[in-house]
Structure 1
Amino acid sequence: MTIAMIGATGLVGRQLWPLLQGRQDVLVLGRRPSGAPLEKLGTMEEWPGLLRGERIDTAVSTLGSTRKAAGSWAAFEAVDRHAVLAFAEAARAAGARHFLLVSSSGADAHSRNAYLRLKGEVEEAVAALGFERVDLLRPGLLLGQRSDRRLAEGAGQAVAPLLGLLLRGPLDRYAPIDAGQVAKGMAALAGRREPGVYRHHNREIRALAH
């Protein structure tokens, strides 16, 4: 049985796949090489077909963009909704019992904010696919060195120490968190057998990472 993954070249994903590789074979689906030993490349639309014939136990998505980086809302939705859900459906068809998804703090299918509403809707759609276990990670602002330029997130990282001081207690879930901690938290969750849908915010993610 294999772990299938999308988003392996991103901020969390490129730190996650080496952690998973030591336990099981990790099959990375992507548009460009990630360095993973087992990899299939193609367009996002081709990813579901690349899973045909595979036996998957666990599926992981660290895929994500922003409206600005994608260039339009339609392009953003193609990544964060359609590509993620098509992968999840294909992984479930390939036998996956466990799905792990990097979502966002504040994700809510009923939010007035379009970004948070989309994230919440994707969470609900994944949970409805019939996986035995779903882990939804909802980190705050991700800290780390990105390969692409996201000016708004770069500004956020510059003030991250101040935000960390201000966002305490119940607001901690919105505080900045290092992408490496999210990767370690996901690695700790991979392979867990307890059924159900679990949501993990910053505090839970940090605990898992240690």
Structure 2
Amino acid sequence: MSEPVRIALVGATGLVGRTLLETAVGQPEVQVVAIARREMKLPPGGRMEMVLADPANWNEVLDVLRPTTLICALGTTWKQAGKDEAAFRAVDQDLVLATARAALNAGAERMVAVSSAGADPQSKNFYLKVKGEVERELQSLKFKRLDILRPGLLKGPRERDMRIGEGLARIASPLVDPFLNGPRRRYRSIEATTVAEAALQLSMRRAAGKFIHDNDGIIRAARDWANRTS
């Protein structure tokens, strides 16, 4: 059996990060080390590690871990950022890019980044504009392989900070999704489990290049993960 892919995960306390840790339990192909600012409960049965550190020291942690792949599920909400643009950028842009550069300097060859449907540096929507700017910066880095995931509305149990609009959108998504066709398919809701499975699958792919995956691509990658573990 080949050596497992050593993955450093940041954003482990969020919906996608927590789901990814649960998905990785019992999977010998991957070895996940979560880097976080605050303590969290690891899923039962998981042979994985967690390193608690201030983000200012994540570069030192990555130097020690020397992961093959960085999976970044970092992100905050407008509410968590106090509706402050600088505070939002501090996490969703500055911390994401600093962590990516630190992983690259530590020898990581691949990165999987969770972004958002509609990410565009020219967008008039502040959230989507920042996501697009981050994607552009990530693509300028020298990873051998970069996978950017652009999921639609994420479905799954959140621990906190459910936004009212987001909650209503989740309730409405089963009715709205069937009408989102053509280019708008990318905005359909998607399970966090599907995104997590796709991220793990893509973390093991070795073909060089830069790849962007909308909902359909995420679903295909998740199916590949299910097929290899079935």
- Bucket of the pairwise TM-score, normalised by the shorter protein: over 0.9
May I ask how many residue pairs the two structures share in their alignment?
Answer: 210
| Equivalent residue runs for 1:1-210 within 5 Å | 2-20=6-24, 22=27, 23-36=29-42, 37-71=48-82, 72-149=84-161, 150-210=163-223
Instruction: Please give the TM-score of this superposition, normalised by the length of structure 1.
Output: 0.94
Amino acid at match of 1:27: V
Quote the offset at 1:64 in angstroms: 1.1
Measured after TM superposition, the shift of residue 35 of structure 1 is 3.6
CA contact (8 A) 1:3 1:24 kept: yes
Separation (CA, whole Å) in 2 of partners of 1:24 and 1:177? 23
Alpha-carbon separation, structure 2, partners of 1:26 and 1:175:
29
Partner deviation per Cα, 1:150-208 (whole Å, 9 max, x = no partner): 22211211111122122122210011111111111111111101111100001111122
Q: Kindly provide the CA deviation profile for residues 81-136 of structure 1, in whole angstroms up to 9, marking residues without a partner as x.
A: 11111110110011001000000011111222221111011111111110000000
Q: Provide the rounded CA distance (Å) in 2 between the counterparts of 1:32 and 1:54.
A: 18
- Secondary structure of the residue aligned to 2:80 is helix
Contact 1:14 1:34 in 2 (8 A): no
Rounded to whole Å, the distance in 2 between the matches of 1:70 and 1:151 is: 16
Q: C-alpha distance in 2, partners of 1:47/1:53? A: 10
2:35 and 2:180 mapped to 1: Cα distance?
36
State the SS of the aligned residue for 2:94. Answer: helix
Instruction: Measure the CA separation in 2 of the matches of 1:102 and 1:124.
Output: 13
Question: 1:120 aligns to what SS in structure 2?
Answer: helix
Matched-pair contact (CA < 8 Å) for 2:112–2:199: yes
Whether the 8 Å contact between 1:4 and 1:56 is mirrored in structure 2 is yes
Quote the residue 2:45 is aligned against.
Answer: none
Distance in 2 (CA, whole Å) between partners of 1:110 and 1:179 is 27
State percent identity of aligned pairs. 42
Deviation at 1:20, TM superposition (A): 3.8
Aligned-partner SS, 1:108: coil
Q: Shift in Å at residue 50 of structure 1?
A: 1.8
Q: Which runs of 4+ in 1 moved over 6 A?
A: none
**Alpha-carbon contact 2:19-2:196 (below 8 Å) kept:** yes
